[in-house]
Structure 1
Amino acid sequence: MIITQTPYRVSFAGGGTDLPAFYQHEPGAVLSMGVGHHMYVTVSPRFDKTTRVAYTRVEIADGIDRIEHTIAREALRMTGLGEHLEITTVGDVPAGTGMGSSSSLAVGMLNALYAYKGQVTSPGLLAEQACQIEIDILGKPIGRQDQYAAAYGGVNYIRFNPDHTVDVEPVPCRPEFLDQLEKHILLLYTDQQRDADVILKKQSEGSADKMSVLRQMRDLAGELRNTMGGKGDLDDFGRILHEGWELKRSLGFGISTAGVDEWYQAARRAGAMGGKLLGAGGGGFLLVMAPPERHEAIREAVGRPREISFRIDRRGSRVIFISDRYTF
């Protein structure tokens, strides 16, 4: 049996410039982090000459073409594996909440299947092939940041080039700054799940009319990278987050909702420095940055929603368990 653990991600600035509608014209960029909530994928031998895939439902298929789980099916094709396999997926956070779960699944699935074959892979290959599966094969109208954030982990400035290549640059940060950043952030669940594909499709179709705003959003990713370097400046980080919030809301496309806007304004009145709605928007998790002593007031101001911890995952997708190999 092989088990992989792949982080979800939080993107702080530049979201939307990883879509080809933007980066085919000029480079896009995001500042993102792998976070300590994960997708787990297991792969093990199966006695029957079928493939069993267990996720929110269970499939038993007598051929790859009959597998309905699209990412599992295409990952099996890409890695050249098929029958006699048991595959399971378990995520810490539900899909549709803005933390890049589908891309973490694609990266983790590929990592597990390659490990089952005895092949060592690189983060770059995992991210590139996950993009091929999600974007080129399955035709999802998504960007290219989530796959790279999941594969690499850590804190990265990720640049998307017009020729479709991607550059991943780790951001040098003092450990003290990252420790304080972790303590300043709340992840609040809006209790709304959404189809990111719908929002991203609208954004792709409307990007030509929003290039100036998207350009400013991309440039904020560079500002955040500079802010995190050296001694790090939490006040500047919060200011840039708030500026990014205003820019992203101005795009429209259903990115925010009246309820989320009310939460954000209430959090600001209670002492939040800045924040953002994770992922494409429309629901999911609201990230709020504030001094720890203001956290309780913010929770009260927004009605004490469910929340999850924020920790930076510095390692990316990895194999965490390998049992003795045997086949039937």
Structure 2
Amino acid sequence: MRSTDPRQLAAAAFEKHFGGLPETAAFAPGRVNLLGEHTDYNGGFVLPMALERLGVGIAAARGDAPGKVELFSSTFDAVRTRTIDEGRAGDWSDYVLGCLKSACAEEIAASGIRIALATTLPMGAGLSSSAALEVATLKAASELFGRKADPVSVAVEAQAVENGFVGMPCGIMDQFASSVGTPGMALFLNTRTLEYAPAPSIPGYRFVIVGSGVSHQLTEDGYATRVAECRQACNLLEVAMLSDLGVDALGGTPGFPELLHRRVRHIVTENQRVHDGLEALRTADAGVFGRLMLESHISQKDDYEITVAETDAIVETAIALGACGARQTGGGFGGSVLALVADGDLEAWADKLTATLPHTTMIAIV
């Protein structure tokens, strides 16, 4: 039987491609976000969950030429040969190269490196495959060259690589969930202070990740636009980050642009939803948590304008078929929908959803 362990898949890919065994292998999970969308780059609160068995495996060994970076992706069946002193090239290898340059450029300049990667995450599903790739690369490189790195430092370094080398202005939620989170357990995170705490699940209920069939990989311009809009709002409101604002700041400012007002309203109310959602998890209140999920989706749709017709339809259908709550999860413009469903209804609910919306896929139940 073929292994589903990303580490083993990466090691097998390494041996097949390079003709030898790797010196080390590392794994980093993807994540699903329960509540808190686009709040992380605004210094706000998030409630992600690292995924079990869904993530990125990296197998690595020293190379045979100084400065040479040889990469093989079993997922894309693609080979890239880079050098450690190169800049951004504009494809998937940038995520790996940027991490290698950050973590161990001197060592690779001396020995070179060979890397094979494998993923069990569906591409474009909004489950943070890029962050998992960064975290797994940093973990593998640190182990290969005998460097110690604590999980929080790895998350910070991975975000810096994505911001500075890859050029994506993301917050730290994805990298933090992948590096620090415990698979299968929700994590409350203050993205401004990096204070975090585990959050419980709700007995008798499961979260279901539903793929929409619409890849969110086409959203980088939209994502960057939302970041820029938030920065513009901060400048006009004279605050450092939108997380400085409370719900009492939503009364409106004379002359403040309506579009920016809606963007601010999403961030402020979403921050409050994360706090309320954490309390709902702690009190095992599925009804409240489900309501917050739906409110989050509506806010993403109307105020932040990052949903698509396909994810809107999944949310509407999921609720109509009996889910307690549902929302688009991830960066937006497609990807996946997360639904909260009672254990006893799960099988029938999933069958009805896929029958009603044949383009959907059941990615995972967590």
TM-score range, shorter chain: 0.7 to 0.9
Q: Alpha-carbon deviation of 1:166? A: 2.2
- 2:3: which partner in 1? none
1:158 partner letter: L
For 1:30 and 1:86, the matched residues in 2 are separated by 35
The structure, 1 or 2, with the larger RCO (C-alpha pairs under 8 Å, 6+ apart) is 1
Structure 1 residue 296: Cα displacement: 2.6
Q: Does residue 1:287 correspond to 2:341, yes or no?
A: no
Aligned-pair CA distance for 1:159:
0.8
Shift of 1:262: 2.0
Q: What's 2:255 paired with?
A: none
Corresponding letter in the other structure for 1:302: L
What displacement does 1:109 show?
0.5
Change (3 A) 1:94 1:168: same
Q: Is residue 246 of structure 2 the alignment partner of residue 222 of structure 1?
A: no
* Matched position secondary structure for 1:281: coil
Measure the CA separation in 2 of the matches of 1:212 and 1:67: 35
Number of residue pairs aligned between Structure 1 and Structure 2: 294
Amino acid at match of 1:160: T
Post-superposition Cα deviations, 1:44-100, rounded to whole Å, max 9, x if no partner, equal 133455321112320224554278421222222222232432111211123322011
What is the DSSP-based 3-state SS (H/G/I as helix, E as strand, rest coil) of the residue aligned with 2:355? helix
Question: Are 2:56 and 1:4 aligned?
Answer: no
Aligned-partner SS, 1:251? helix
| Structure 2 residue 45 is matched with structure 1 residue 29 | yes
Partner residue of 1:326? none
Q: Of 157, 161, 186, which residue of structure 1 is paired with 2:188?
A: 157
The residue identity in structure 1 corresponding to 2:99 is A
Deviation string 1:173-221 (CA, Å, 9 cap, x unpaired) is: 2xxx45634xx32222111112342221121123321212211101111
Larger helix proportion of the pair = 2
Q: Which deviations, in whole Å up to 9, do the C-alpha atoms of 1:301-324 show, x marking residues without a partner?
A: 22263222223xxxxxxxxxxxxx
Match for residue 52 of structure 1? Answer: 70
- Sort the Cα spacing of 1:223 and 1:67 in 2 relative to 1 into closer, same or farther, 3 A: closer
C-alpha deviations, 1:149-173, integer Å up to 9, x for none? 0011232111122xxx4222222x2
Does the 8 Å contact 2:286/2:324 carry over to 1?
Answer: no
Question: How many Å separate the matches in 2 of 1:159 and 1:281?
Answer: 21
SS in 1 for 2:61: strand
Tell me which residue corresponds to 1:128: 156
Distance in 2 between the 1:178 and 1:91 partners? 29
CA distance in 2, matches of 1:9, 1:215: 23
Distance 1:117 1:48 in 2: 16
Q: Which of residues 218, 223, 247 is equivalent to 1:200?
A: 223
Matched residues in 2 for 1:58 and 1:233: separation?
Answer: 49
1:18 aligns with 2:40: yes
Mark the runs of 5 or more structure 2 residues left unpaired by the alignment: 1-22, 234-259
Aligned equivalents of 2:87 and 2:221: distance in 1? 26
C-alpha change, 1:260 and 1:47, in structure 2 (3 Å) is same
What is the alpha-carbon distance in structure 1 between the residues aligned to residue 162 and residue 359 of structure 2? 36
Q: Residue type of the partner of 1:245?
A: H
Deviation (angstroms), 1:9: 0.6
Alpha carbons of 1:124 and 1:252: their partners in 2 closer, same or farther (altered >3 Å)? closer
The C-alpha deviation readout for 1:255-279, integer Å capped at 9, x for no partner, is 1112222222122211122112121
Match of 1:245 among 297, 319, 341: 297
The percentage of aligned residue pairs carrying the same residue is 19
Q: What is the TM-score when the length of structure 1 is the normalising length?
A: 0.83
Q: C-alpha distance in 1, partners of 2:308/2:287? A: 27
